[in-house]
Structure 1
């Protein structure tokens, strides 16, 4: 039997540990990338709503693209409401509140979003969000998004603001309500 020096044993142990340290993150990254690519949501595509109708003001609408979903955010000033009423649902066509006029929205499906927040402050007689009926959302550029195709402002009528969101297909979505915003995420796939 051959005798191995303690130094050689320590060196061999260190090399094995080093090789594990180098390959482990790579294996983890590959596993994480595979998990992220799957993007399991379980959200569904049925209508989602909350019935609270505390008066609130809409100040901005913005969007973002993430690995597994595209996001639209409705900004409501902090403290203007603790719970916000909303309805988010797929519709066959998008019609402007008040007039009933059809508004064309590009995409394979239309997600109508109604938020109980006006874009005009009646008390101070000033506009709080610059959206114009039947027009694209101001400052929103959907170039390069995987799911979002179009976003039109319907109207702000009787304390509710309405947006038609054109998406690639009828995909699962979720709605998250925070103290100062309403967030709608639409998945890139099922």
Structure 2
């Protein structure tokens, strides 16, 4: 009788450990906030003549966001982790940025228009976004605009998952949105 009780107790204990271990494994593999973006390069769209007119940032529960707004339709971008170089001169931007990792952002649209010149008040090395207090975002630095392309270096806390997408509006404007997750997994 004692052996039988001992065997039942051991079986219950093992079943509990297996169930707990399975739950732990399942929760450890679950994506953070459902994010499945990854950290690989993201590229889309074509060159546009619609000029950049604004850059701003926002905070969300699961990610930090940078929004690039254009005066017209824009679809082209290339974003990846790695060194970023100023447009035209080709100087590395890492000395001007904060954070443990650097996102190189190339927008396939100018930061100027043909009749009025610059459409944003930034000079190379300017920080158009105050990222103080953000969980992931550390810095956004303007790298210039040359031959229809505009560059930014986005400093982040670490190499984390990110996504990039295009939104139409408001009005005739469009926006390229960069979201960087706060962490990899739950």
Bin the TM-score by the shorter chain: 0.7 to 0.9
- Establish whether residue 129 from structure 1 lines up as the match of residue 123 from structure 2: no
Give the aligned partner of residue 186 of structure 1: 180
1:49–1:38 distance in 2 versus 1, CA, 3 Å? closer
Distance 2:39 2:89 in 1: 28
Moved more, 150-159 or 127-136: 127-136
Give the aligned partner of residue 102 of structure 1: 92
Residue 51 of structure 1, CA deviation: 3.6
- Establish whether residue 120 from structure 1 lines up as the match of residue 109 from structure 2: no
- Establish whether residue 143 from structure 1 lines up as the match of residue 132 from structure 2: yes
After the TM superposition, which parts of structure 1 deviate over 4 Å for at least 4 consecutive aligned residues?
A: none
Distance 2:32 2:89 in 1: 43
The answer to whether the 8 A contact 1:119-1:130 is kept is no
Which secondary structure state, in structure 2, belongs to the residue aligned with residue 165 of structure 1?
strand
Give the aligned partner of residue 28 of structure 1: none
- Establish whether residue 166 from structure 1 lines up as the match of residue 155 from structure 2: yes
Residue 40 of structure 1, CA deviation: 2.2
Distance 1:38 1:187 in 2: 8
The answer to whether the 8 A contact 2:48-2:148 is kept is no
Give the aligned partner of residue 41 of structure 2: 47
The answer to whether the 8 A contact 1:45-1:172 is kept is yes
The answer to whether the 8 A contact 1:135-1:153 is kept is yes
- Establish whether residue 153 from structure 1 lines up as the match of residue 127 from structure 2: no
Which secondary structure state, in structure 2, belongs to the residue aligned with residue 169 of structure 1?
coil
Instruction: Could you tell me which runs of 5 or more consecutive residues in structure 1 were left unpaired when the two chains were aligned.
Output: 1-36
Distance 1:154 1:165 in 2: 10
Give the TM-score normalised by structure 2. Answer: 0.75
Distance 1:113 1:157 in 2: 14
Give the TM-score normalised by structure 1. Answer: 0.73
- Establish whether residue 60 from structure 1 lines up as the match of residue 54 from structure 2: yes
